Amino acid sequence: MDNLLKKLYEKNKVSEDELLYILDNMNESYKEKLFTYAHETSKRYYDNRIYMRGLIEFSNHCKQDCMYCGIRASNKVAHRYRLTHDQILQCCEIGYNLGYRTFVLQSGEDFYYDTEKLCTIIKDIKSKYADAAITMSIGERDYDTYKALYEAGADRYLLRHEAASENLYNRFHPGMKLSNRIECLNNLKEIGFQVGAGFMVGLPYQTNEDLVEDLLFLKKLNPHMIGIGPYLPHKDTPLKDENSGTLEKTLIMLALTRLLIPDCLLPSTTAVGTIDNKGREKALQAGANVVMPNLSPTNVRELYSLYDNKICTGDEAAHCRVCIQKRIESVGFEVDMGRGDSVRL
Ligand code: 5AD
Ligand code: FES
C-alpha cells in the first residue's frame, strides 16, 4: 500500500486494480498518508489558497426524477420557486459587494428559463460585473443552448456525471441515459467551458468497483472542476430510508481525486458540511480547495432542498462569508476572493 500511495502521489496515475486495492485496504494510518499527499498536491498547484464561489439557487423546479433528490419532479410536496431576473441580479450585487468574483447559477432542470432568458441574465450580470466569472449548473441542454450560454458570457459549467457505472446510473435516473450525460460533458468541453463533473459517495448499492469507475472516468475526462459529496437522504424521496454516505469515504474519494487529477478545482461541498460540523474543514485537509457559500435569498434556501438538514439555510450571505473564512483559516488556509480559474488555463 505504501508504494501504491507513493506512486499515486508522484505519478498521478495507478491502474484500475491498484485503485480497487487502495479502496479495499484503506485503514487509519494509510488514510493519514493519503490525506497528507493530497494536501501537499493541492498546495503545489494552488498554494494555501481556497477559492470562494457565491452559489445562487435560482429555481427548484425540475423535470427530472432522480431517485435521491428532494426536488425531483415526482415530489409533489416540494414548494417550488423561481427567482426573477432582478432577484438573481440582486443576489449578484450582494455577492459582489461581499467580494465574490464567481457566481454559480444553479437550478433544477427548469425549461421555464429558455435559452433567451438565460442569455439575458448572463449578459446582464457580465455587463455589471465584468471581472466576475459565471458558472452555470442547470443540467442537460442541447448543444446550441450550451453554445449560446457560452457566447453570452458564461465561463464554466457544472454537470456532475453522478455515477460512471451504467448499472448504478440507470438505477437512480429514470428516463435518463449516462451516454447522454457524457455527450453533454463533451459538448461543454468542446464549446470552451471550464467544465465540472463529479459524483456522490455512498449511494445505495454503490461498491468500491463503482467508485473506481468514477475515478477512472474523471481521469479520462480530465475536467477542470470536480464536485464530490456524500449521498444524503431526503424525506420525500423513494430512498428516504437508505443510509447516508460517510464522511470518511467522502474524504478518501476527495483525496484520491486530488492525486489523480492534481490540478483540478475541488469543492469542499455543502453536503460534506452537512454530515459533519467540521466536514468542510476536513475536506480542505484532504485536498479540496474551493468552497461555495450560499447567496440565495434566505427565504428560498430551505426550499432548495436536495437532501435533509442542509446547513446555512437561515444564514445571511454576509454571515456565511465570515463564518467560512474563519473555518478556512482555522485549518491553516487562506481565502482567495479572485475568480479562481483553473491553473490549467
Ligand atoms: N444527497 C447528496 N447530494 C445530492 N445531490 C442531489 N441530491 C442529493 C442528495 N440526496 C447532488 C447531485 C447533484 C448536485 C447538485 O447535488 O450530485 O448533481
Ligand atoms: Fe453559512 Fe457557516 S458557512 S453559517
Is residue 79 a part of any domain in this protein? yes
Smallest CA separation from ligand 2 atom 1, residue: 320
The pLDDT confidence band at residue 307, using thresholds 50, 70 and 90, is very high
137 labelled ligand-binding? yes
pLDDT given for residue 345 in this prediction: 85
Is residue 200 a part of any domain in this protein? yes
Is residue 344 a part of any domain in this protein? no
Residue 264 has pLDDT above 90, yes or no: yes
- CA of residue 227 to ligand 1 center, whole Å: 10
- The answer to whether the pTM exceeds 0.95 is yes
Give the structural domain span for 193: 16-333
Cβ 7 vs Cβ 14: under 8 Å: yes
User: In this structure, what DSSP letter does residue 287 have?
Assistant: T
Average pLDDT score over residue span 108-119:
98
The pLDDT confidence band at residue 65, using thresholds 50, 70 and 90, is very high
267, β-bridge pairs = 290
Average pLDDT score over residue span 55-77:
98
Testing ligand 2's pocket by substitution, the residue of 52, 98, 312 carrying the most ligand atoms inside 8 A of its CB is: 312
Average pLDDT for the chain: 97
Buried (b) or exposed (e) across 27-42, using 16+ Cβ within 10 A? Answer: eeebbeebbbbbbebb
Average pLDDT score over residue span 316-325:
94
Is residue 76 a part of any domain in this protein? yes
pLDDT given for residue 117 in this prediction: 98
Is residue 342 a part of any domain in this protein? no
> What are 113's three cell numbers?
428559463
User: In this structure, what DSSP letter does residue 294 have?
Assistant: B
- CA of residue 231 to ligand 1 center, whole Å: 7
Cβ 279 vs Cβ 264: under 8 Å: no
Average pLDDT score over residue span 280-286:
98
Is residue 338 a part of any domain in this protein? no
- Ligand index nearest the alpha carbon of residue 327: 2
Is the reported ipTM for this assembly greater than 0.90? Answer: yes
- CA of residue 315 to ligand 2 center, whole Å: 7
Is residue 7 a part of any domain in this protein? no
For the chain, the maximum distance between any two Cα atoms, rounded to a whole number of angstroms, is 55
Testing ligand 1's pocket by substitution, the residue of 253, 307, 308, 311 carrying the most ligand atoms inside 8 A of its CB is: 307
- CA of residue 259 to ligand 2 center, whole Å: 28
The pLDDT confidence band at residue 156, using thresholds 50, 70 and 90, is very high
Q: What percent of the chain has pLDDT over 90?
A: 98
Is residue 188 a part of any domain in this protein? yes
Provide the CATH number for the domain around residue 223.
Answer: 3.20.20.70
- Report whether residue 162 contacts ligand 1, using a CB cutoff of 6 Å: yes
- Hey, how many other C-beta atoms are within 10 angstroms of the C-beta on 130? 8
Number of domains composing the chain: 1
Residue 126 has pLDDT above 90, yes or no: yes
Average pLDDT score over residue span 211-220:
98
10 labelled ligand-binding? no
Smallest CA separation from ligand 1 atom 7, residue: 69
pLDDT given for residue 284 in this prediction: 98
pLDDT given for residue 199 in this prediction: 98
CA-to-CA distance for 183 and 189, rounded, in angstroms? 10
CA-to-CA distance for 36 and 255, rounded, in angstroms? 9
181 labelled ligand-binding? yes
165 labelled ligand-binding? no
